[in-house]
Amino acid sequence: MDKFYITTAIDYVNGAPHIGHAYEKILTDIIARHYSQRTDNMFFLTGTDEHGIKIQKTAASKGITPKQLCDENAQKFKDAWKALDIKYNRFIRTTDEDHEKIVQKIFQKLKDKGAIYKHEYEGWYCSGCECFLNPKDLTEDGLCPDHQKKPDIVREENYFFKLSAYKDAIIKHIKENPDFIVPSFRANEVLNQLEDIQDISVSRSKENVGWGIDILDDPNQSIYVWIDALSNYITAIGYDPDGSSEQFKSLWPVDVHVIGKDILKFHSIYWIGILMALELPLPKHIFAHGWITIDETKMSKSLGNVVSPTSVLENFELEYPDAFRYYMATSAPCGRDGNYSDEDFKEKVNAHLANSMGNLLNRTLSMLVKYFDGEVKDEFFVTKNPELVEGSLSLIKESIGKIKVVENHFNHFEIAEAAQEIISIVDAANKYVTDNAPWTLAKEEKMTECGQVLTTVLEVMCVISSLIYPYCPNIATEMAKQLSYDITKKLDEITTDEIKPGKLITKEEIKPVFLRVDSELADKSAKK
């Protein structure tokens, strides 16, 4: 691969991050880390959306400026992502000076070419959605279906983007590129929405929305959310209508936008129309993930079940976020909704990370020290004695073969499915140990056979450490350290002889890579 460019949605900074925000960032970080194992030119963008009426009103209610509110809350998102080991290349804020200047240029370019026009409009405006709604989109009671509030009637003279002019081209692109929207079943939703798509408001009167980016030749209007927020994907890497950077030229088009299913319309219709108007290549994929419920209940401030991602780390006393990352990434199949619960979290991470994977490495290394003083001998390798212990060669081949299987799942953004394949290798290795009982071989003084069983497992553990690294970077790094294995290897460089002959480890160097999670969330009783 020559490059891989991946983005998340930018989070609105009207409040603090919750587990739903974390789910998207964890998925994206895992995809980014996986692709960093396949290319040297990987770029991961995330950030915050900081303009609009909600920010303006919240800041006023707190007696601070909108910028002060944005600074305060943007830092909360940065702190949360640091705690979760989210390794982005840039954190863009839509109040960044470089972003604001290019957004003004983008707006002017679209206006100059006739893709944007001024028009007086009256319609139902939902401040929660930050958009005008069609009457048919409302509930029977006239409420916004997402926010369960009655929209306001707003009459303004605003600028509109000629989205309807790109309707046919967008439909054609979706139909001709079945992997454009992931999962594919979401494409029909978008095609249905396109049937009666209308031009969209891309500015607001300064009188009504003062907190926004000024239009260059019309200071009485603020550039509205769509051109401002969506353009971050190109402004962050150096797009400029007057001449883009080399970075932009090397990274665009984006390989995948990772977003929530609730904002798919804006990315697969609005954003695509804007890009077509700018005559820029379109994204290769838009991956719409599902939502995370808490104990099978949708998160709600009124229910008091909004969970902070960092509180999970603190209350379970997790030294690293790996267990939480793994659990969230495996909570739902591609594009489907997932669920978080304390009990399921403990059960899954204990079973997969502690009992199966961690214990396999620990007991294998312990037996190597017990029977061979931590030394791996030449005759232990399957390449030297392929017929010595039945199943040794096939297990190693199976583990190497899983690399392509996992890569294929990532090509389709099937993150939970890829993890299942990795754990299947862990299970196969555990079964291999049970079937061949190295402790019995040692007792029978079949030391070469015993050594081959242990060495075969350690070879497989090298593959597992690389494959699990995107999910559990700290655990994988510790595994690799105890295996004297180079975790920075590209996936296509991994071979069947990663373990080297000679002294591998001492008893003092062996330590559990993941301890069982047995504590309860401290505030669980309060929630009840």
User: For each of the chain's 528 residues, which pLDDT tens digit applies?
Assistant: 799 999 999 999 988 899 999 999 999 999 999 999 999 999 999 999 999 988 999 999 999 999 999 999 999 999 999 999 999 999 999 999 999 999 999 999 999 999 999 988 777 888 777 677 877 778 888 888 877 888 888 877 899 999 999 999 999 999 999 999 999 999 999 999 999 899 999 998 898 888 999 999 998 999 988 999 999 999 999 999 999 999 999 999 999 999 999 999 999 999 999 999 999 999 999 999 999 988 766 655 555 556 788 888 888 888 899 999 999 999 999 999 999 988 999 999 999 999 999 999 999 999 999 999 999 999 999 988 888 999 999 999 999 999 999 999 999 999 999 999 999 999 999 999 999 999 999 999 999 999 999 999 999 999 999 999 999 999 999 999 999 999 999 999 999 889 999 999 999 999 999 988 873 433 333 333
Torsion angle in degrees (nearest 10) through CA of 24, 25, 26, 28:
90
Q: Token pair of 312, please?
A: 């999970």
Whole-angstrom distance, CA of residue 395 vs CA of residue 417: 20
Whole-angstrom distance, CA of residue 470 vs CA of residue 30: 5
Position 134 scores a pLDDT of 76
Catalytic, out of 51, 70, 129, 472: 129
Fold held by 342-509: Isoleucyl-tRNA Synthetase; Domain 1 (1.10.730)
Q: Is 298 labeled as catalytic in the residue annotation? A: yes
Position 524 scores a pLDDT of 38
Catalytic, out of 126, 334, 462, 472: 126
**3-class DSSP state for residue 92?**
strand
* Count of C-beta atoms within a 10 Å radius of residue 448: 14
Tokens 């960044």 locate to 96
Q: Is 99 labeled as catalytic in the residue annotation? A: no
Catalytic, out of 249, 298, 507, 511: 298
Q: Is 119 labeled as catalytic in the residue annotation? A: no
Contact 513, 475 (CB under 8 A): yes
Q: Is 144 labeled as catalytic in the residue annotation? A: yes
Catalytic, out of 131, 144, 334, 450: 144
Residues paired with residue 260 on neighbouring β-strands, in sequence order: 289
Whole-angstrom distance, CA of residue 193 vs CA of residue 181: 14
Whole-angstrom distance, CA of residue 459 vs CA of residue 443: 23
Q: Is 147 labeled as catalytic in the residue annotation? A: yes
Whole-angstrom distance, CA of residue 201 vs CA of residue 116: 9
| Annotated domain spans of the chain | 342-509
Catalytic, out of 119, 147, 172, 500: 147
Q: Is 462 labeled as catalytic in the residue annotation? A: no
pTM for the structure as a whole:
0.92
Whole-angstrom distance, CA of residue 286 vs CA of residue 524: 36
